[in-house]
Amino acid sequence: MIVVKASPEIGRTHGETVCVAGIRLEQDTSEWIRLFPVRWQWFWHGSHPKYQVIDVEITKHENDQRPESYRPNVESVAVVREASSPQERSTAVNALPQYTMCDLVKAKGWDRPSLGLVVPRTIRGFIVEDHAGDASHASKMNRAAQPSLLAPSAPTLELCPLAFKFHYDCIATGCKGHTQSIVDWEISEAWRTWRKAYPDDYLRRIEDKWMGLVQQSRKPAFFVGNQHQAPQGFLILGIARDVDPKPPTSASPSTTPTPPAPNTIRSEPTLFD
């Protein structure tokens, strides 16, 4: 069941890619899985919305030590259900372990969770940062402007120069707060379309929309994930609703962490690989 579609990224190794994460339904209990790389052009051609249920061939990602990371054979994807029911979504999401963000950041080792569900205690605010002048953003935009040989009819990828962030407290005792970027594809799509449709107040509309998604009445929780090259740096991948809080699971691995094999971690830092 797809629950996360992150904003497209551009790397030197794989080009334009999307990080997709979901819940494995063939297991006895709900488990996370990360699919990477998934080429943005392939995703553009297909229709794979959140909460769709798919069947896909996977192999363990040889260059990613995070336990949830797998390489998908995208040509093998078969749609099982176009849209899961609200009850199926709720059951699968509420069966996931819940963590505190404080514990996820504190945990060490390659065996600790790199994807998780975090219930916020308090939302302190919504932050917008402009990175349009950054050299790294300009470089990515130049690569994005080049037509794709794999999908020449695909639209040109626009990379949002703004970083949208939540500042919040998790439920850990003594939490001093967390400020994390929201990298859900939906928020970058809102920027892409709303800045044209509502040029005078699109940022206010985005803030109102995302602050509305975390109202206490919705029983929200964050889908979070870390970065391969910066494992302590967690990002907000999406927002769940109707999550029943339960005692958090420890994020510290119960076994001795396994170090990465020599020369298996790529030197290229991108957002999700």
* 20-79 pLDDT per residue, tens: 999 999 878 889 999 988 877 666 656 788 899 999 999 998 888 888 999 999 889 999
**Residue ranges of the chain with per-residue pLDDT less than 70:** 10-15, 41-46, 133-156, 231, 254-273
- pLDDT, residue 132, reads 77
Measured in degrees and rounded to the nearest 5, phi and psi for residue 193 equal -95, -40
With contact defined as beta carbons under 8 Å apart, do 199 and 46 qualify?
Answer: no
Report the 10 Å Cβ neighbour count for 172. 19
